[in-house]
Amino acid sequence: MEERAKSYKDKYIVVIPFFAGGAQGREIEYAVAGWRRHFKEKYLIVIVGDYHPVVDTGDDIVFIECPRVPAVDGEYRAHLDHVNKFKKVLEKFPDIEGFIYTCDDIYAVNNFDIIDVKALKIRERNISAGLYDPNPWRRNNAKTKALLIKEGLPTHNYVCHLPVYYEKDKLLAIWKKYDCEHVSYVVEQLYFNTYFKDRVPLLLHIDHDNYKCGIHRPNPRTNYVDNAFKEKIWITNSVEGWTPYLDRKLSEYYGL
């Protein structure tokens, strides 16, 4: 595994933070299969967090063990944890200019390259979360929106549940400025609304874009999912969207 980690300088580092306690099934296996089948660049996949046997399935993948950070009262643990995990990756690969961040429930089903990853995409033109939302992730998103407004920055919702590319120096500057190791914010929102504040990003819509089919309920419109294997680059799911139906479709597609 150390030898694999050394041969990375001509490759894109694809970082997947992994928390075994949050896995519902074989998501990470399908996610890795999607990068292997469809990413048309040289790459090295880095699983950071909890161990999963998928890290032992090829020379194109390495594992960095990194337990979750302790919970901090009033802060959203997952966002603090991601900063810590990304720091571990940068310590392992100190010479990289940047990396791709993706998730274990994002599955590529058509070919793509770095241009597709770097294309600026938003879910909505204005972050709609509220500070008193019962969902802690959405509350943290609203907290981040308030900071963006205070900084005089746009409030585009860049969290599309798709892979994104971070430049290392710019990401480190965001972490330092907003103390993201100790104060939880949605780093994607800070990063892209800061460095691309004068850009007009693509507003995603399942009926019109070629990027994403998101499954967010246990009874998805199956025609959308079936068509996504032909018309979209990625299929994604939320916790509610992970179903035996989706598991079967992905298993058949990847032959796993």
**Prediction pTM value:** 0.95
All domains in the chain, ordered by first residue:
2-254 (3.90.550.10)
Q: In what order do the strands lie in the sheet with 43-49?
A: 61-65, 43-49, 12-18, 98-101, 164-167
237: helix, strand or coil: strand
pLDDT in tens, 67-99: 999 999 999 999 999 999 999 999 999 999 999
Find the mean pLDDT for residues 186-197.
Answer: 98
Mean pLDDT of the chain: 95
The position carrying tokens 């999607």 is 34
Residue 5 has pLDDT above 60, yes or no: no
Residue 150 has pLDDT above 80, yes or no: yes
d(Cα 68, Cα 74) in Å, to the nearest integer?
17
